[in-house]
Amino acid sequence: MAGIYLHIPFCKTRCIYCDFYSTTKIKEKDHYISALCKELRTRKLYLENEPVETIYFGGGTPSQLSLKDFEKVFRTIEETYGLDQCKEITLEANPDDLHPEYIKEISSLPFNRISIGIQTFNDQVLCLLKRRHTSAQAIQAINDCRSAGFQNISIDLMYGLPEENRKSWEADLKQAIDLNVEHISAYHLIYEEGTPLYEMLCKQIVKEVDEESSVDFFDLMIEKLTKAGFQHYEISNFCLPGKYSQHNSSYWTGKKYLGCGPSAHSYNGDTRQWNVSSLDQYITKVEAGIPFFDTENLNITTRYNDYVITSLRTMWGLSLTHLKDTFGSELHQYCLKNAEIYLKTGKLEIQNNILFLSKEGIFISDGIMSSLLWVEN
Ligand code: SF4
Tens-digit pLDDT profile for residues 170-190: 999 999 999 999 999 999 999
- Percent with pLDDT over 90 in the chain: 97
* Interacting residues of 206 by C-beta distance below 8 A, sequence separation 6+: 128, 162, 163, 197, 200
- Percent with pLDDT over 70 in the chain: 100
Model pLDDT, residue 44: 95
Residue 253 has pLDDT above 90, yes or no: no
CA–CA separation, 354 and 369 (whole Å): 15
Question: Average of pLDDT values for 104-122?
Answer: 97
For residue 60, whether the previous peptide bond is cis, meaning omega lies within 30 degrees of 0, is: yes
* Interacting residues of 329 by C-beta distance below 8 A, sequence separation 6+: none
Model pLDDT, residue 289: 95
Name the closest-CA residue to atom 2, ligand 1. Answer: 60
How far, in Å, from the CA of 306 to the mean position of ligand 1? 27
**8 Å CB contact between 100 and 144:** yes
CA distances, 201 to each of 15, 20, 21, 160, 161 (Å): 15, 19, 21, 13, 12
Name the closest-CA residue to atom 8, ligand 1. Answer: 18
Cα 36 off chain centre by: 20
Model pLDDT, residue 254: 86
Spell out the CATH class of 299-377: mainly alpha
Atom of ligand 1 nearest to the CA of 117: 2
Question: Average of pLDDT values for 96-115?
Answer: 97
CA distances, 21 to each of 8, 52, 79, 174 (Å): 10, 25, 28, 31
Model pLDDT, residue 248: 93
DSSP output for 185-232 = EEEE----TTSHHHHHHHTTSS-PPPHHHHHHHHHHHHHHHHHTT-EE
| 337 band by pLDDT with thresholds 50, 70 and 90 | very high
Collapsed DSSP state (helix, strand, coil) of residue 339: helix
Model pLDDT, residue 252: 84
CA–CA separation, 341 and 343 (whole Å): 5
**pTM reported for the whole predicted model:** 0.95
- Residue 296's CB is within 10 A of a number of other CB atoms, namely 11
Residue 377 has pLDDT above 80, yes or no: no
Dihedral sign, Cα of residue 158, residue 122, residue 64, residue 98: positive
**8 Å CB contact between 76 and 33:** no
Tens-digit pLDDT profile for residues 119-153: 999 999 999 999 999 999 999 999 999 999 999 99
CA–CA separation, 67 and 83 (whole Å): 18
Tens-digit pLDDT profile for residues 29-59: 999 999 999 999 999 999 999 999 999 999 9
What is the 8-class DSSP label of residue 10?
B
Q: Which residues does a 6 A CB cutoff place in the pocket of ligand 1?
A: 11, 14-15, 18, 20, 22, 59-61, 94, 117
How far, in Å, from the CA of 128 to the mean position of ligand 1? 14
How far, in Å, from the CA of 14 to the mean position of ligand 1? 6
How far, in Å, from the CA of 117 to the mean position of ligand 1? 9
Collapsed DSSP state (helix, strand, coil) of residue 177: helix
Atom of ligand 1 nearest to the CA of 18: 8
Model pLDDT, residue 207: 95
Among candidate residues 376, 347, 278, 365, the one with its CA nearest the CA of residue 32? 278
Domain ranges of the chain: 2-250, 299-377
Fold of 2-250: TIM Barrel (3.20.20)
Name the closest-CA residue to atom 6, ligand 1. Answer: 15
How far, in Å, from the CA of 48 to the mean position of ligand 1? 32
Ligand 1 pocket, mutate which of 20, 63, 65, 127 (most atoms under 8 A from CB):
20
Name the closest-CA residue to atom 3, ligand 1. Answer: 60
Residue 228 has pLDDT above 90, yes or no: yes
Model pLDDT, residue 314: 95
Tens-digit pLDDT profile for residues 206-220: 999 999 999 999 999
Model pLDDT, residue 303: 94
